[in-house]
Each structure stands twice: as C-alpha cells, then as structure tokens.
C-alpha cells in the first residue's frame, strides 16, 4: 500500500466510525424522547386516576371495594401505616 491508499483507508474507517456514532446518538435520542413522552403520559394518567378515586369515595366506594374490582390503587396514596391521631397531651407538649 502506498501513502495515498493508506490515507483513503484511514478516511473510510473514520467515516464509518463517525456514522456508527451518529447512528447511536440518533437511537438514544429517539429512546429518550419515547421515555419522556411515556413519563408525561404516566403523570397525566396518575392525576386522572387519583381524581377518579376521590370521586369514587364521594359516591360511596371504598378502596377495598375498588381493589376487589381489580382497579389500581390511588397513586397519590402513600403506603405505610396511617398516622395515629395525637392526644390532647401530645398536642400541648406535656409529657407524663
């Protein structure tokens, strides 16, 4: 191989590498856009479901009823134990 052939081979390899890198960026950008759209759709769906759960409660449905129907739980409800009500003594800062 002469110098000119080596330069052309090197240029082809660099062009191929650059195209592969650009194709990768295109793929990851597309995935990022898809993910962002899905996250926005999920947030909108969670707001809607939470609102409908509140409306269901005003119509007399309990979380247990809805769960029995296979309906997703309210996404705005935080898991864990319910807080217990503070007694008068705890509210006033007195201890025994």
Q: What is the pLDDT of residues 36-75, one digit of tens each?
A: 999 999 999 999 999 999 999 999 999 999 999 999 999 8
Residue 83 counted as domain residue: no
Residue 53: how many other CB atoms lie within 10 Å: 19
Closest CA to 77 of 55, 46, 44: 46
For residue 76, what pLDDT band results from cuts at 50, 70 and 90? confident
Amino acid 92: pLDDT: 60
Predicted TM-score (pTM) of this structure: 0.60
Residue 88 counted as domain residue: no
Residue 64 counted as domain residue: yes
Structural domain harbouring 9: 3-74
What's the domain count of the chain? 1
Residue 10 counted as domain residue: yes
- The residues, any chain, with a CB within 8 Å of residue 46's CB and separated by 6 or more, are 75, 76
């Amino acid at each position: 191989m002469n110098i000119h052939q080596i330069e052309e081979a090197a240029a082809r390899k660099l062009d191929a590498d650059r195209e592969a890198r650009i194709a990768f960026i295109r793929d990851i950008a597309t995935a990022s856009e898809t993910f962002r759209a899905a996250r926005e759709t999920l947030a909108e769906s969670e707001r809607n479901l939470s609102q409908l759960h509140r409306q269901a409660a005003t119509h007399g449905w309990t979380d247990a009823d809805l769960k029995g129907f296979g309906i997703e739980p309210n996404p705005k409800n935080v898991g864990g134990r319910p807080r217990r009500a503070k007694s008068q003594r705890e509210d006033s800062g007195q201890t025994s």
